[in-house]
């Protein structure tokens, strides 16, 4: 009897230690190495083009992005963004990633807030249409967020505008847990860009000028 009680005690002690070792989870928990996960966290790795067979095993999301022509973001998403969200932030829910095109990354001369392109929720095409105009979406970049605007001629069927950009390639990848859309440009920090002012000004234009304004402002 004493022997069995000792075994039970040891098992309970082991479970207690194990539970204390498991980190708590939170949708947007600040990572332990938060000082590293900043604008320059990804360094020059985004410009590498890894080759299969050199210790690199491409995931399905990597293959989908690479095939679609998003070669830089294929590497960034596979090697940096998804591991950062899952490990540093300890977030295991569905994420949506907005992937800028290669030329947008190469010719963007400021530090790129890549985590601002990752959202801790499912945002497919139909879901984004349901967001009210001027909605705010939180991202994994604690200093940045995204703004959603509806088109000027909104009949409920047209696509939303994210941080002043229309999504060009919908659902390049979607496995239910990771969704990736392609965008033409790097997202500017919405706190530094007066999208609301631009939108309000465009809405004051005559009806025949609004379509032209939308094309010039949001689609170029």
Residues 152-206 have pLDDT tens digits of: 666 767 888 888 888 999 999 999 999 999 998 888 765 444 455 555 555 666 6
Residue bearing tokens 């590293």: 36
Domain ranges within the chain, ordered by starting residue: 27-218
> How do strand 95-100 and strand 178-183 relate by DSSP bridges?
parallel
Distance (Å, rounded) from C-alpha 153 to C-alpha 133? 12
What's the CATH code, domain 27-218?
A: 2.30.180.10
Query: If DSSP codes are grouped into helix, strand and coil, which group holds residue 183?
Result: strand
Contact assessment for residue 28 and residue 44, using Cβ atoms and an 8 Å cutoff: no
Query: Rounded distance, CA 67 to CA 192, Å?
Result: 34
pLDDT in tens, 123-142: 999 898 888 888 888 888 87
Q: What is the pLDDT of residue 56?
A: 58
How much is the pTM? 0.66
Q: How many CB atoms lie within 10 A of CB 15?
A: 10
pLDDT at 149 over 80: yes
> In sequence order, which residues have a C-beta less than 8 Å from that of residue 147 and are 6 or more positions away?
134, 135, 136, 137, 162, 163, 164, 190, 195, 196
Distance in angstroms (rounded) separating the CA atoms of residues 49 and 76 = 10
What is the distance between the alpha carbons of residues 70 and 173, in angstroms, rounded to a whole number?
A: 12
Instruction: Please give the mean pLDDT across all residues of the chain.
Output: 71
45 vs 208: which has the higher pLDDT: 208
pLDDT tens, position by position, 181-194: 999 888 876 544 44
CA distance linking residue 201 with residue 56, whole number of Å: 49
pLDDT higher than threshold 70 for residue 58: yes
pLDDT at 97 over 90: yes
- Please give the pLDDT value at position 201: 56
Q: Which pLDDT does position 48 carry in this prediction? A: 47
φ and ψ of 53, to 5 deg: 100, -5
Give, as one character, the DSSP assignment of residue 44.
Answer: G
**Residue 145: its H or E element:** strand 145-149
Structure tokens at 188: 């500017």
Q: Is the dihedral of CA 125, 183, 199, 204 positive or negative?
A: negative
| Helix extents (H) in the chain | 2-21, 60-67, 71-76, 82-83, 102-106, 125-129, 195-203, 207-218
pLDDT in tens, 1-40: 555 555 555 554 444 443 333 333 333 444 444 334 444 4
């Amino acid at each position: 009897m004493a022997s069995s009680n000792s075994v039970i005690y040891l098992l309970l002690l082991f479970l207690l230690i194990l539970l204390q070792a498991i980190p708590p989870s939170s949708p947007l928990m600040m990572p332990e190495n938060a000082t590293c996960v900043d604008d320059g966290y990804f360094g020059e790795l985004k410009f590498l083009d890894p080759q299969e067979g050199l210790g690199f095993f491409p995931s399905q999301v990597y293959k989908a992005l690479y095939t679609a022509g998003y070669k830089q973001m294929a590497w960034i998403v596979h090697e940096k963004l998804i591991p950062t969200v899952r490990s540093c932030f300890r977030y295991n829910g569905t994420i949506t990633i907005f992937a800028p095109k290669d030329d947008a990354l190469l010719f963007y001369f400021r530090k790129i807030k890549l985590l601002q392109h990752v959202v801790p929720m499912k945002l497919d095409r139909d879901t984004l249409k349901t967001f009210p105009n001027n909605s705010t979406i939180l991202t994994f970049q604690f200093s940045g967020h995204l703004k959603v605007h509806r088109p000027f001629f909104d009949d409920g069927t047209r696509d939303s505008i994210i941080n002043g950009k229309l999504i060009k390639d919908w659902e390049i990848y979607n496995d239910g847990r990771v969704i990736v859309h392609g965008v033409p440009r790097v997202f500017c920090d919405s706190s530094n860009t007066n999208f609301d002012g631009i939108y309000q000004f465009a809405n004051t234009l005559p009806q025949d000028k609004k379509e032209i304004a939308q094309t010039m402002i949001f689609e170029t």
